[in-house]
Amino acid sequence: MTEPMAVLLETDAVVAVDKPPGLTVVPAPTEPGDSLRHRVERALGCPLWVVHRLDRDASGVVLFARSADAHRALCLAFEHRLVEKSYVALTAGVPDPPEGVIAVPLHAARRGKTRPAAPGEAGAQEATTGYEVVERWHRDGHRAALVSARPRTGRHHQLRVHFRSIGTPLLFDRVYGRRVDLAPLDGIPCQRLALHASRLVVPATVLGTRIDVHAPMAADLQAAIGWLANTWSRD
């Protein structure tokens, strides 16, 4: 069961909601049941167009279009990298340097996954992510960090693959972080992908009015940060 969603912004052109973890944005082909889009459509009593997605276990801002025209304009804005997206995440290990840009081309992999592309590999897609370490902790030789990330491209699983590529996978990533020793985290009040879409900004040139939507830190991630601060040592 997922947490209830909150509407963050509603206009004639768009609606933005705070997606709870554990819910897909659209129904998966193998799971045709409930989805975030279905819930918002039922709540508003109108059809919606999907502009972008978050992973099932991630939380935070999701923007829907309320008309075909708005959908077309927003999709072009995402495609041309006009939309600013900000995330917060918890990582296993601390990214080094503490502030930088991950520029690792990505390639589609089997079973809907993504992997770093080999040098010169055909089909590779440019992918860049800016990041900054906000807080860091250590305990018994293990380290963890709270990071802020701003993807400059929008590739499938980009943040998850990029942070793993530098040796600091996201906590509780069951696909890309399976080798992380979770024993030191026994008792932490968050067992899902530690990724939250905190902010989304669309410039006024796209729909005529600037859109700037914030989603407060999800309660389980906030609790996890408090747990680390209380049970681990701050670097």
Look at residue 93 in the predicted model and tell me its pLDDT. 98
| The pLDDT of residue 215 is above 70 | yes
Mean confidence (pLDDT) of the chain:
95
Encode pLDDT of 105-162 as tens digits: 999 999 999 999 999 999 999 999 999 999 999 999 999 999 999 999 999 999 999 9
Q: What is the DSSP string of 77-117?
A: HHHTT-SEEEEEEEEES--SSSEEEEE--EEE-GGG-EEEP
Q: Which of 12, 18, 34, 55 is catalytic?
A: 55
Give 182's contacts (C-beta < 8 A, 6+ positions apart).
172
- Which pair of tokens denotes residue 158? 């980009």
Share of the chain above pLDDT 70, in %: 96
pLDDT tens for residues 41-65?
999 999 999 999 999 999 999 999 9
pLDDT, tens digit, for every residue of 56-112? 999 999 999 999 999 999 999 999 999 999 999 999 999 999 999 999 999 999 999
Is 55 an annotated catalytic residue?
Answer: yes
Query: How would residue 190 be classed by pLDDT, with cut points 50, 70 and 90?
Result: very high
Is 33 a residue whose pLDDT tops 80? no
Q: Where are the domains of the chain?
A: 6-234
Greater pLDDT, 224 or 235: 224
pLDDT at site 75: 98
Q: How many CB atoms lie within 10 A of CB 78?
A: 16
pLDDT of residue 1: 42
Read off the pLDDT band of 28 (50, 70, 90): confident
Band of the pLDDT at 27, cuts 50, 70, 90? confident
- pLDDT for 2 equals 52
What per-residue confidence (pLDDT) applies to 162? 98
User: Positive or negative, the Cα torsion across 212, 216, 220, 222?
Assistant: positive
102 φ/ψ angles, rounded to the nearest 5 degrees: -95, 115
Task: Name the CATH code of domain 6-234 (choices 3.40.50.1000, 3.10.180.10, 3.20.20.70, 3.30.2350.10).
Answer: 3.30.2350.10
